[in-house]
Amino acid sequence: MSKVTISEPYVVGEKPSPLVYQFLDSNGAAINITGYTAKFQWQERDGAATSASATVSDGPNGKAQYTFTGNEFSTAGHYRAQFWVGNGTNRYASVDIVFTVVLPVGTAPSI
């Protein structure tokens, strides 16, 4: 199975830039997801999955986006995530998105 690896670790308490994923067909062409609903799901290793609403940021080009709130990663560890999009007829899952979350130096400041 294919996967996307985010090489820079996230930090507990961090609120990173939005994460964007592009859905492609087997020929590498964008899947038009206009009118689809999007979700983002993540879990630490084999822990329980958490799901949140995502957006279709560019439907004709197959792009979905998740905007972080800063509350996603409460513990350090190895995570995997997936985007899901569907329209009631079709439903697509992204490849696995894998990343590491590390502890901050001290407590994350309120800035």
Domain segments of the chain as ranges: 3-102
Distance of alpha carbon 21 from alpha carbon 36, whole angstroms: 14
**How do residues 26-38 score in pLDDT, each as one tens digit?**
999 999 999 999 9
CATH topology assigned to domain 3-102: Immunoglobulin-like (2.60.40)
Q: What share of the chain is helix, strand, coil (3-state, %, to 5)?
A: 5, 45, 50
Q: Pairing state of beta strands 91-93 and 77-86?
A: antiparallel
Residues of the chain with pLDDT under 50: none
Give tens-digit pLDDT for 72-91.
Answer: 988 999 999 999 999 999 99
Contact (Cβ atoms closer than 8 angstroms) between residue 59 and residue 36: yes
> What single letter denotes the amino acid at residue 49?
A
Per-residue tokens: 39: 């979700």
